[in-house]
């Protein structure tokens, strides 16, 4: 039978012994006697009497200690506060950059969207506008053509017909002036020139207070109304082609 | 209490140095007791107390909020005492005392007769125990004090000493063996 070692006795003493060691201690008289001696020897080692300290001992310790302590705030004013400051600044700069980047991105997207919309709107608007201008101008040229045909075949003796011709000329004169100026501004010298010649004919007819057959003959011959009529017909033939072509932007805007 | 300790620590770390006073007042007695038991004299124990609280203050940022401040400061106190006891000049001082005073190893025997004699004998037993304790290494003494006098578990002792539990157990065992051997004359005559 193996007896308890001193180490096992120590474990039992501090209540950390194994169950088998405890059982052996109960069963073995030799070990029990040995353990009793062991226990007595350890029991004899009593805690030293610690000197009594008054209730103000903690206060005394604190009084001696506090002069040696540096407040954490003051300690933080050195390298730590510098790194804190740097890290704060870095964080602020980083956040600022992120906000700017996001704003630029969103702004870019919005601007692109707005621009494309505007462009599409402009393109969409320009097309009908161009179409309207061409239609209106064509209408004007049609009426002018009819007037010139009527003038070339007018019966000088018919005063009523002359008066109607004069009235029509007055109406066309105002609009013709407007188209001529617009064509000139748009950089269309051919149209502007034709409209200018037409304007002079219209002005002659419209502004004559007593339009006689002699006056009409003079206008027809002097102002070459047949030539102007030809020009008007050329313009009428040109306008629908311009509308569909890529250079259709050239025209008259009111 | 633990919650208030943690709030005090936070206040100290926020710059309120005076708040640390509350922790010092509350734990000074416990720190002094363990310091005295390990150091064996009041002067060293006082220095250990000061050093403990100073070291704790300097390391307050490392204090883990999940543990109690009392436990944490206790560990620091044991470490301060251990490093102080382990200093060569202190060991040399002990050895010098031992060699220059051979009579110190002579232990008078206690009897259970007259009270004055018992008192005198009691003092001698205490002196013998003190001498025996001083002959232990710093680690053995520390481990024994924590286990036998402070009634700390082996796990706690191992943690405080920064050694494996088995090493802590061995340190206690070696201390017990040495003390029993040193104090055997007392037992034999008791």
Q: Walk me through the domains of chain B, giving residue ranges and CATH numbers.
A: 1-87 (1.10.1740.10), 108-190 (1.10.10.10)
> CB A72 to CB B14 under 8 A?
yes
pLDDT tops 60 at residue A42: yes
Cβ(B110)–Cβ(B118) under 8 Å? yes
- The C-alpha of A17 sits at a distance from chain B's nearest C-alpha, in angstroms, of 13
Determine the average pLDDT of the residues in B62-70: 82
Distances (CA, A) of A168 to A121, A140, A159, A175, A233: 38, 11, 14, 11, 19
Contacts 24+ apart (CB under 8 A), B57-63: B57/A65, B57/A69, B57/B12, B57/B20, B60/A72, B60/B9, B60/B12, B60/B13, B60/B20, B61/B13, B63/B9
Q: Is the dihedral of CA A146, A147, A152, A154 positive or negative?
A: positive
Determine the average pLDDT of the residues in A96-124: 81
> CB B29 to CB A66 under 8 A?
no
In 3D space, the residue among B61, B66, B56, B73 whose CA is nearest the CA of residue B13 turns out to be: B61
Q: What pLDDT is stored for residue A78 in this prediction? A: 55
pLDDT tops 60 at residue A120: yes
> CB B176 to CB A50 under 8 A?
no
What integer best gives the mean pLDDT of chain A?
A: 79
For the ranges A71-80, A158-167, A186-195, B43-52, which has the lowest average pLDDT?
A: A71-80
Instruction: Kindly state the tokens that stand for B14.
Output: 């926020």
Asked if the C-beta of A45 comes within 8 angstroms of chain B's C-beta atoms, the answer is: yes
pLDDT tens figures, A198-233:
888 888 888 877 777 777 778 877 877 788 888 888
Length of chain B: 190
Q: What pLDDT is stored for residue A64 in this prediction? A: 92
Secondary structure, 3-state, chain B? CHHHHHHHHHHHHCCCHHHHHHHHHHHHHHHHHHHHHHHCCHHHHHHHHHHHHHHHHHCHHHCCCCCCHHHHHHHHHHHHHHHHHCCHHHHHHHHHHHHHCHHHHCCCCCCCCCHHHHHHHHHHHHHHHHHHHHCCCHHHHHHHHHHHHCCCCHHHHHHHHCCCHHHHHHHHHHHHHHHHHHHHHHHHHC
In 3D space, the residue among A41, A48, A37 whose CA is nearest the CA of residue B183 turns out to be: A41
pLDDT tops 70 at residue B190: no
In this prediction, residue B182 has a pLDDT band, given cuts at 50, 70 and 90, of: confident
Q: What pLDDT is stored for residue B3 in this prediction? A: 63
Nearest by CB: A64 against B50, B60, B176: B50
What integer best gives the mean pLDDT of chain B?
A: 80
pLDDT tops 90 at residue B28: yes
Asked if the C-beta of A97 comes within 8 angstroms of chain B's C-beta atoms, the answer is: no
Higher pLDDT, B24 or B63: B24
Instruction: Kindly state the tokens that stand for B152.
Output: 């700390």
Higher pLDDT, A144 or B97: A144
- The C-alpha of A96 sits at a distance from chain B's nearest C-alpha, in angstroms, of 29
> CB B17 to CB A51 under 8 A?
no
In sequence order, the 6+-apart residues with CB closer than 8 A to the CB of A25 are A4, A12, A17, A31, A32, A35
Max mean pLDDT range (A65-79, A238-252, B165-179) = B165-179
pLDDT tops 50 at residue B34: yes
Higher pLDDT, B182 or A118: B182
Determine the average pLDDT of the residues in A30-40: 90
Determine the average pLDDT of the residues in B46-68: 89
pLDDT tens figures, A105-117:
888 888 888 877 7
Burial of A76 (0-12, 13-18, 19+ CB in 10 A): middle
pLDDT tens figures, B86-119:
754 444 443 443 444 444 444 444 444 456 666 6
Residue of chain B with shortest Cα separation from A56: B25
The full set of domain ranges for chain A reads 6-43, 123-244
Cβ(B146)–Cβ(B160) under 8 Å? yes
Distances (CA, A) of B79 to B32, B56, B73, B187: 13, 11, 10, 33
Cβ atoms < 10 Å from Cβ of A104: 11
> Tokens 């208030």 appear where?
B4
Q: What pLDDT is stored for residue B97 in this prediction? A: 39
Give the integer Cα–Cα distance in Å for B128 and A177: 135
In this prediction, residue A133 has a pLDDT band, given cuts at 50, 70 and 90, of: low
DSSP assignment letter at A68: T
Burial of A87 (0-12, 13-18, 19+ CB in 10 A): exposed
In this prediction, residue B167 has a pLDDT band, given cuts at 50, 70 and 90, of: very high
Max mean pLDDT range (A28-37, A164-173, A185-194) = A28-37
In 3D space, the residue among B185, B167, B164 whose CA is nearest the CA of residue B175 turns out to be: B167
């Amino acid at each position: 039978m193996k007896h308890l070692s001193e180490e096992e006795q120590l474990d039992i003493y501090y209540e950390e012994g194994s169950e088998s060691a405890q059982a052996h201690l109960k069963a073995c008289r030799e070990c029990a006697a040995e353990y009793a001696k062991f226990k007595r020897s350890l029991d004899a080692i009593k805690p030293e009497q610690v000197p009594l300290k008054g209730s103000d001992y903690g206060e005394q310790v604190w009084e001696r200690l506090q002069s040696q302590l540096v407040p954490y705030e003051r300690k933080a004013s050195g390298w730590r506060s510098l790194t804190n400051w740097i890290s704060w600044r870095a964080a602020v700069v980083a956040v600022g950059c992120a906000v700017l980047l996001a704003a630029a991105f969103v702004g870019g997207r919005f601007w692109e969207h707005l621009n494309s919309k505007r462009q599409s709107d402009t393109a969409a608007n320009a097309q009908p506008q161009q179409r309207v201008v061409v239609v209106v101008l064509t209408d004007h040229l049609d009426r002018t053509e009819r007037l010139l045909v009527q003038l070339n075949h007018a019966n000088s003796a018919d005063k009523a017909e002359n008066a109607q011709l004069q009235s029509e000329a007055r109406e066309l004169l105002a609009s013709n002036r407007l188209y001529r100026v617009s064509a000139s501004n748009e950089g269309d010298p051919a149209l502007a020139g034709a409209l200018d010649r037409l304007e002079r004919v219209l002005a002659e007819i419209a502004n004559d207070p007593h339009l006689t057959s002699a006056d009409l003959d003079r206008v027809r011959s002097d102002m070459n109304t047949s030539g102007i009529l030809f020009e008007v017909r050329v313009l009428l033939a040109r306008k629908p082609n311009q509308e569909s072509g890529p250079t259709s932007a050239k025209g008259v805007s009111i | 209490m633990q919650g208030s300790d943690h709030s005090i620590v936070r206040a100290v770390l926020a710059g309120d140095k005076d708040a640390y006073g509350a922790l010092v007042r509350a734990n000074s007695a416990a720190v002094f007791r363990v310091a005295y038991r390990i150091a064996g004299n009041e002067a060293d124990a006082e220095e250990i107390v000061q050093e403990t609280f100073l070291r704790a203050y300097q390391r307050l940022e490392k204090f883990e909020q999940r543990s109690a401040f009392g436990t944490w400061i206790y560990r620091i106190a044991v470490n301060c005492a251990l490093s102080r006891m382990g200093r060569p000049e202190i060991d040399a001082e002990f050895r010098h005392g031992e060699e220059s005073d051979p009579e110190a190893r002579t232990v008078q025997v206690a009897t259970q007769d007259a009270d004055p004699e018992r008192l005198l004998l009691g003092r001698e037993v205490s002196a013998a125990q003190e001498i025996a304790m001083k002959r232990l290494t710093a680690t053995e003494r520390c481990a024994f004090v924590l286990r036998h006098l402070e009634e700390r578990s082996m796990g706690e002792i191992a943690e405080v000493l920064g050694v494996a539990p088995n090493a802590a157990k061995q340190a206690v065992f070696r201390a017990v063996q040495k003390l029993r051997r040193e104090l055997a004359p007392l037992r034999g005559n008791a």
